[in-house]
A and B are shown apart, each in its own frame.
Chain A
Amino acid sequence: MKRHLLALSLGIFASFPAIGSADQPGLEVEQAWSRASMGNDRPGVAYMVVRNTGSETRTLIGAKTDIAMMPQIHRTTTGASGVSQMAPAGDIEIQPGAEIALAPGGLHIMLMKLTQPLIEGESYGLTLLFKNGHDFEVSVPILSPTARNANP
């Protein structure tokens, strides 16, 4: 009886990784961070690195979160003459083995219509939306208003 119980528990535990990967295959998200916001009248921002560790191309099409009503992936571009502007980034393909970096001055998630202020020291949940419907949840820590990168 004991041996059967042991085998059963081992079998259940061994299947955990498989269950995890069946829901959200082949993606890693690292170095997610946001700056604290001044109130919630102005858009917040989120940055992160998204890595495709699977064998199929993943297409990032957007994000959703409780903390903002209109999160949208934008891209800042700065021209040779020094003018910076932003535009919606559209769909972003991530090839197998590749990664994209959402970082200051480039791709970023513009958290428009914040539902509450982003408070330093807290974190919030954000879901990355993918074309194939396999969305990915990220917990984003909120750093200081003048944080420069993911490492406080």
Chain B
Amino acid sequence: MKLKYITRILWAAVAISGIGLLALTIMKPYLFPDKVIFQSAITADFELTDQNGQILRDEDFADQWMLVFFGYTNCPDVCPTTIAEMAAVMDGLGDKQSMVQPIMITIDPERDTPGVLAEYLGFFSPGFVGLTGSPEQIAATSKTFQIFYAKETEPDAPDGYGMAHTSHIYLFGPDGKYIRFYRYGTTAEAILKDLSNRI
């Protein structure tokens, strides 16, 4: 009899902690928007090709802060807006600009080849590093950053598709360690305020 009660209490405890875990996971983006709780740590671990055709690894940015975002050149709204805000952040940094490297990693490697990135970033934001690679390399990179991306059918868009993708801007320190992300829509002023306090 006693064992039955204990067993029931233990199962109830499992159920309660299970519900608690589920609730926390669902509420996590609202409660702790900038923290990573249950996932393994986000790392900037990449070996990709830049817009000049050079292989670049995260180690090549040692001693620099990295501001990384994921996007694609056929994006009409989110990506140009992110670039515009990041360009404003870089302007605001003034003589501290050289300490921070803005990086765009494409999640549309089929179309965004090094040459395409060179032209695009040359037009929008000289000074940004653009990274691309094979679809497999981009997929591997997306796992270390824990970002999501997927093709979306859009009949009238170029090539009939656009991309859904994580639109955060990720900040890494000079030691290469992940610090935080800035949610899409965070103004350049807010990013600059936060970043200036850290540099």
Task: Report whether chain A binds chain B.
Answer: yes
Interface contact B74-A45, CB-CB below 8 Å: no
Q: How many residues of B contact A (CB 8 A)?
A: 36
Is A105 on the interface with B (CB-CB < 8 A)? yes
Question: Which of A43, A105, A112 makes the CB contact (< 8 A) with B81?
Answer: A105
Neighbouring B residues of A74 by C-beta, 8 Å: 76-77
Interface contact B184-A78, CB-CB below 8 Å: yes
Is A38 on the interface with B (CB-CB < 8 A)? yes
What size tier do the contact residues of chain A reach? 20 to 34
Interface contact A45-B148, CB-CB below 8 Å: no
Interface contact A84-B167, CB-CB below 8 Å: yes
Is A41 on the interface with B (CB-CB < 8 A)? yes
Minimal beta-carbon separation of A55 from chain B (angstroms): 33
> What's the A-B contact tally at a CB cutoff of 8 Å?
98
Contacts of A1-52 to chain B: CB distance below 8 A: 35, 38, 41-45
Neighbouring A residues of B74 by C-beta, 8 Å: 42-43
Minimal beta-carbon separation of B62 from chain A (angstroms): 27
In the bound complex, CA of A84 to CA of B167 (Å): 6
Instruction: Kindly supply a per-residue 1/0 record for chain B positions 21-60, scoring 1 wherever the CB is within 8 Å of any chain A CB and 0 otherwise.
Output: 0000000011000000000000000000000000000000
Minimal beta-carbon separation of B41 from chain A (angstroms): 17
Neighbouring A residues of B120 by C-beta, 8 Å: 38
From A59-67, A130-138, A142-150, give the one contacting chain B: A142-150
Q: In this complex, which of B76, B148, B154 has the most chain A Cβ atoms within 10 angstroms of its Cβ?
A: B76
Interface contact A35-B80, CB-CB below 8 Å: yes
Query: A: which residues have CB within 8 A of B?
Result: 35, 38, 41-45, 70, 72, 74, 76, 78, 80-86, 104-105, 108, 110-113, 145-148
